[in-house]
Amino acid sequence: MNVSVGIKSLISSFIYTLGFVSRRIRNSHDNSLVLMYHRIIPKNDPWESVIQDGMYVEPKTFEIHIRFLRRYFTIIPFFEFMVKIENQMGRSNEKPICILTFDDGWYDFYKDVFPILKIYEVPATVFLPTDFIGTKKWFWTDRLTHLFFQRDHSPHSVRIHEPSSLLLVNHLEALKGSFESKIERAIEMLKGVRHDEIEHILSELSIRWNLNTELPERAFLSWDEVREMKKSGLITFGSHTASHRIFTTLTEEEIYDELRRSKAKLVSEDAIDPVCVPFCYPNGNYNEKIAGMVKEAGYHLAVTTENGWNNSKIDPFRLRRIGIHQDMTSSKAMFGCRVTGII
């Protein structure tokens, strides 16, 4: 645990002991909380050393979160939430609403999250990038991370000293600092770039470093696993587009194609109930036009990465979420302070 996290842990424990967290939750009974998770990875998992800190939580930590949420919140699925939005979420003095969401449809959701949710009988929604489900493909962000990790640790990596014809490749090769800081900056550099250009950059790095961008194991859920979890009655699914490309880098025609293809695949695989089809903007990037296109495509609500709770006046296609990750929520007190916005 680094120094800043250690200090926040001590402060959180003090605040929690004084009852500030429970009081703030009680005072928020008319609002709703949507939590954003990505991966659930056990401690000492090989991927723990290369995944971004904000992208995972350990299973034991997740159980701490579930026990906390069951005590202070009413955890509901999105189709119930949609009804409450339509009724302007009037809840008198009941517990505030909480919805659990998981982006990307990682295989570790089935392996490490679904069993916990069954034990506690807690519902959740998983947003699926349909082109990746049932395949061995990986996101470009993970392939980029894998390339950097191999370059720094593999005896087979090489360095070409002549500049590349691609300016971004030169910038990526010039990054300095810790592995974590290089990955953070590299991903941010490429997020606003079109997908075809990113693929060109990854190919160039692979050649220049004499490394393979492909990863051997499966990353995402299979459609059989999706259907099995849907049948449990606890897990619902929504769209995270087809290709997971960031919408603000696409043309309107490409956005409509993503929305149409993703929804059609979810229906054909019997992954969704057409009565309530939620949507999740990749990387949280959207604008007023894009939100309108999502609504026109027949989706019923959409979640962003904008931080905060939701009140009765919230636009259902701009729902706020609070991102949850291991280093800032590893204890009950830290998690409580995180979801209430105290720290």
Which one-letter DSSP state was computed for residue 212? -
Check whether residue 246 and residue 301 sit in a common domain.
Answer: yes
Check whether residue 118 and residue 252 sit in a common domain.
Answer: yes
Contact 55, 63 (CB under 8 A): no
Query: Is 89's pLDDT higher than 70?
Result: no
pLDDT at 110: 98
Query: Is 66's pLDDT higher than 80?
Result: yes
pLDDT at 47: 61
Confidence bin at 30 (pLDDT 50/70/90) = confident
Check whether residue 205 and residue 287 sit in a common domain.
Answer: no
Query: Is 312's pLDDT higher than 90?
Result: no
Mean pLDDT of 294-312: 96
Check whether residue 198 and residue 231 sit in a common domain.
Answer: no
- Residue-wise pLDDT for 203-218, tens only, equals 999 999 999 888 878 9
DSSP for 236-287, written as a single string = EEEE--SS---GGGS-HHHHHHHHHHHHHHHHHTT-S-TT--EEE-GGG---
d(CA 234, CA 56): 21
Contact 167, 193 (CB under 8 A): no
Residue position matching structure tokens 């008198």: 92
Contact 232, 109 (CB under 8 A): no
d(CA 51, CA 199): 20
pLDDT at 5: 80
Check whether residue 153 and residue 270 sit in a common domain.
Answer: no
Q: Which amino acid is at 127?
A: F
Give the residue from 209, 240, 262 where a domain finishes. 209
Check whether residue 48 and residue 179 sit in a common domain.
Answer: no
Check whether residue 174 and residue 275 sit in a common domain.
Answer: no
Check whether residue 320 and residue 180 sit in a common domain.
Answer: no
250 - beta bridge partners? none
Check whether residue 149 and residue 132 sit in a common domain.
Answer: no
Query: Is 227's pLDDT higher than 60?
Result: yes
**Cα torsion at 171, 173, 177, 179 (round to 10°)?**
120
3-17, 109-123, 244-258, 293-307: which has the minimum mean pLDDT?
A: 3-17
pLDDT at 152: 86
Contact 101, 34 (CB under 8 A): yes
d(CA 74, CA 292): 30
Check whether residue 313 and residue 187 sit in a common domain.
Answer: no
How does the average pLDDT of the chain come out, rounded?
92
The number of domains in the chain is 2
Confidence bin at 91 (pLDDT 50/70/90) = low
Check whether residue 188 and residue 246 sit in a common domain.
Answer: no
pLDDT at 169: 96
Check whether residue 50 and residue 148 sit in a common domain.
Answer: no
The CATH number that applies at residue 237 is: 3.20.20.370
Query: Is 3's pLDDT higher than 70?
Result: no
pLDDT over 70 for what percent of the chain? 94
Give the residue from 175, 193, 209 where a domain finishes. 209
Mean pLDDT of 196-204: 96
What range does the domain containing 150 cover? 140-209
H or E segment and range at residue 20: helix 20-26
Give the residue from 209, 229, 246 where a domain finishes. 209
Length of the chain: 343
Instruction: Outline where DSSP puts E strands in the chain.
Output: 32-37, 39-40, 56-57, 74-75, 97-103, 124-128, 235-239, 278-280, 301-303, 322-323
